[in-house]
Amino acid sequence: MLPYPMAQRIEHWPLDRLIPYIRNPRTHSEAQVAQIAASIVEFGFLNPILVDTNAGIIAGHGRLRAARKLELPEVPVIVLDHLTESQKRAYVIADNKLAQNAGWDREILAIELQGLVDLDFDVELTGFSLAEVEIERLQSRLEQFKMSAPKTFFLLRDLLKHIAVKAEKTTPESPVASHGDYKYNQFLYDGERFGMIDVEYFVQAEPSFDLGKYCGHLVPSNPKDWSDSARAEECRRVFLDAYLSVRPGYKGARFSLYEALSLATRSLVVAWSQPRNWEHTAETLVAMGFERLKTPWGE
């Protein structure tokens, strides 16, 4: 006989039979429910909902909402018939909190996420946003500059921390199709008009990801005159105005963090290639990243 209770079988119940716990302290935003639904579509419904003998949900409120979003007729369920009332209340919390207490090996995580990107897999199906993927990638590569470029290392590390905080506080945007839209890698600006170019593009992405990366690359690395920066700003304004004419409902909630990430990436590339005056260039790009991160959308 086993010393601890274990699940004996998985049952399939209609959604209407399940009763959510009215005092469930765990919250699920619409964006997160959409993530769970996308995961179910990609991988299948692999994590059964846990219920008591009265059909009350102990764990799986988010999965139930995702199932409703997908209009599933039934879901897999495991009945926990051995828990006391106090144990059920405690496990509602423990099921969520214990998983949060785990950590990450950032170096391995960055390698695995980048590997998925290289395989053209939709990395957001892992639960990580594109912002988090970019941050992990940069942080994993930043360590090699700790001794060779210490000032740039500490400046970039601080910028990435601020970006990560903002990414955590702002809700991920609903992805949009890149093809046929105003995206950074589909248009070039010659000072008067945009010209379309046909290159590789993301199939689905947060709109701010593409927009931020494009605008981050408009900042001149070594402006020879103030007019260089002025022209870049004008290009940025015209581009964003053109995008808003296509998507007037775009709110730009995560635009600043993606633009700052783009500038952080450029700074890291400069530190690696070390062209003439590279330290000044790298530090200038980091400073611009901080400025963009604090700049409200529309300014």
Domain harbouring 188, CATH code? 3.90.1200
In a domain, 160, yes or no: yes
Torsions phi, psi of 209, nearest 5? -65, -55
Verify that 86 and 135 share a domain, yes or no: no
* Token pair belonging to 229: 């920066």
Q: What angle do CA 259, 264, 267 make, to 5 degrees?
A: 130
Q: Under DSSP, is residue 187 helix (H, G, I), strand (E, B) or coil?
A: strand
Residue among 122, 107, 93, 130 at smallest CA distance from 211: 130
In contact, 231 and 191? CB cutoff 8 Å: yes
Residue type, 243: Y
Query: What's the total number of domains in the chain?
Result: 2
Verify that 45 and 167 share a domain, yes or no: no
Task: Give the separation between CA 286 and CA 274, rounded to whole angstroms.
Answer: 15
In a domain, 2, yes or no: no
In contact, 144 and 274? CB cutoff 8 Å: no
Verify that 51 and 138 share a domain, yes or no: no
In a domain, 20, yes or no: yes
How confident is residue 92, by pLDDT bands cut at 50, 70 and 90?
very high
| pLDDT value at residue 124 | 81
In contact, 293 and 256? CB cutoff 8 Å: yes
In a domain, 142, yes or no: yes
How confident is residue 264, by pLDDT bands cut at 50, 70 and 90?
very high
In a domain, 5, yes or no: no
Verify that 88 and 214 share a domain, yes or no: no
How confident is residue 202, by pLDDT bands cut at 50, 70 and 90?
very low
Verify that 17 and 34 share a domain, yes or no: yes
Verify that 112 and 179 share a domain, yes or no: yes
Verify that 262 and 248 share a domain, yes or no: yes
Mean pLDDT, range 245-269, rounded to an integer: 88
Residue among 77, 96, 86, 84 at smallest CA distance from 24: 96
Verify that 204 and 266 share a domain, yes or no: yes
Mean pLDDT, range 176-192, rounded to an integer: 47
In a domain, 40, yes or no: yes
Last residue of a domain, one of 100, 126, 156: 100
| pLDDT value at residue 292 | 92
In a domain, 299, yes or no: no
Is the pLDDT reported for residue 222 higher than 80? no
Task: Give the separation between CA 115 and CA 108, rounded to whole angstroms.
Answer: 10
Summarised one tens digit per residue, pLDDT across range 101-139 is 988 887 788 788 888 877 878 888 888 877 888 888 888
* Token pair belonging to 6: 């274990």
Task: Give the separation between CA 40 and CA 74, rounded to whole angstroms.
Answer: 13
In a domain, 199, yes or no: yes
Query: Which residue(s) pair with 205 in the sheet?
Result: 176
* Token pair belonging to 247: 């998507």
19: DSSP letter: B
pTM to 2 decimal places: 0.67
Domain hosting 94: range is 11-100
| pLDDT value at residue 14 | 97
Verify that 263 and 117 share a domain, yes or no: yes
Tokens 């991160």 belong to 293
Verify that 112 and 96 share a domain, yes or no: no
Last residue of a domain, one of 36, 67, 100: 100
Q: In what order do the strands lie in the sheet with 74-79?
A: 11-14, 74-79, 49-51, 57-59
Verify that 149 and 276 share a domain, yes or no: yes
Last residue of a domain, one of 100, 115, 131: 100
Task: Give the separation between CA 270 and CA 285, rounded to whole angstroms.
Answer: 9
Verify that 131 and 277 share a domain, yes or no: yes
CATH number, domain with residue 19: 3.90.1530.10
